[in-house]
Amino acid sequence: MPRLEQNRPLAWSDVTPKALWLTRRQWITGAAALAATPALSQIQAAPSRFSTDAEPNSFEDITGYNNFYEFGTGKEDPAAYAGGLTTDPWSIVIDGLVDKPGTYDLADVMKDQPLEERIYRLRCVEAWSMVVPWIGFELAGLLNRVGVQSGAKFVAFETLVRPEEMPGQSSPFIEWPYREGLRLDEAMHPLTILATGLYGEPMPNQNGAPIRLVVPWKYGFKSIKSIVRISLVAEMPPTTWNMLQPSEYGFYANVNPTVDHPRWSQASERVVGSGLFGGRQDTLMFNGYEAEVASLYAGQDLTVDY
Ligand code: MTE
């Protein structure tokens, strides 16, 4: 269950020493300056009231068993091939219905956004799950900074296209770039974060360096990696899995144990890392965040809007 009460039990995040959760370049170029700047050297990402109290998976599980089709379709392909991805310099185009469109350097995207540790369960549509201690900031903070115009109803995201560094992009299986989208109210929800690290380290390449989306009440495929474009748009944008197989993957993709995938049940999940024959556990409505997000879908039929 999510840990929302103030008097919560001691968690991994309370006892693990923290470094500064910056991007790799800020990490390197900033190290000397930080040592001389006491205020900055004390930055710690506060644990969040939105975190689950479940024990995080090991760093090895989280960085060794991935979906990142730009590097291949196997779970071990991202760890094997993502090391060659250049993530510095990195910029993100923010465009569409915003007051301040532009190409923002990653450091500028992160400017003034308070980093927080969020321990979220990642529930994959393939019916397995992991618990990940992300470092990130609320997407709403960035959207408010660039100024969302009144006509904007959705947010569209795109991943980098760079076939020379992303061997999986030589396959036409997916129409690159990988795309995802959220309704504006989902994007502005405080649970929705842009993550720049995990386990107190800059984001590993296979997990979507240098910056990826995390939406904990949705299936993992919504959490698009290595983002280079964020567009505020009026119409529901096309999304990769929905384009590939609309009968199996909807736009909303909310974790919902009562709506099965056409080829398998979503009622339970295999807990990655809990042994060969694995622990299974019941999947919770909205991945455990029903109290926080159910109101976003009031009046919608979730068997239609899956
Ligand atoms: N983002 C991009 N660009 N490409 C992908 O193939 N896979 C998605 C999502 N984000 C994917 C992606 C899927 S299916 C899942 S389950 C999660 O990333 C996996 O995140 P993880 O590897 O960090 O656990």
pLDDT at 1 over 70: no
Cα of 237 to ligand 1 centre, how many Å? 18
Cα of 67 to ligand 1 centre, how many Å? 4
Read off the pTM.
0.88
CA distance 169 to 72: 8
Domains and CATH numbers, the chain: 12-297 (3.90.420.10)
- Atom number, ligand 1, closest to the C-alpha of residue 159: 3
Considering only CA atoms, which residue is closest to atom 16 of ligand 1? 220
For residues 98-123, average pLDDT: 96
Does residue 87 contact residue 209 with C-beta atoms inside 8 Å?
yes
CA distance 217 to 223: 11
Helix (H) / strand (E) element for 155: namely strand 154-159
Identity of residue 107 = A
Cis omega (within 30 of 0) on the bond before 101? no
DSSP state of 302: T
Considering only CA atoms, which residue is closest to atom 8 of ligand 1? 221
Cα of 96 to ligand 1 centre, how many Å? 25
70 close to ligand 1 (CB < 6 Angstrom): yes
For residues 56-71, average pLDDT: 97
Considering only CA atoms, which residue is closest to atom 5 of ligand 1? 68
pLDDT tens across 220-251, in order?
999 999 999 999 999 999 999 999 999 999 99
Q: What is the pLDDT of residue 69?
A: 98
Tokens of 303: 């068997």
197 close to ligand 1 (CB < 6 Angstrom): no
The DSSP annotation for 37-78 comes to: -HHHHT---EEPTT-B-SPPPPHHHHHHS---GGG-SSTTHH
> In Å, how far are 112, 162, 205 from 88, measured between CA atoms?
20, 14, 11
- Atom number, ligand 1, closest to the C-alpha of residue 213: 10
269 close to ligand 1 (CB < 6 Angstrom): no
221 close to ligand 1 (CB < 6 Angstrom): yes
| CB proximity list for 306: less than 8 A, separation 6 or greater | 250, 252, 253, 254, 256, 259
Considering only CA atoms, which residue is closest to atom 10 of ligand 1? 224
Q: What is the pLDDT of residue 32?
A: 41
Helix (H) / strand (E) element for 227: namely strand 227-233
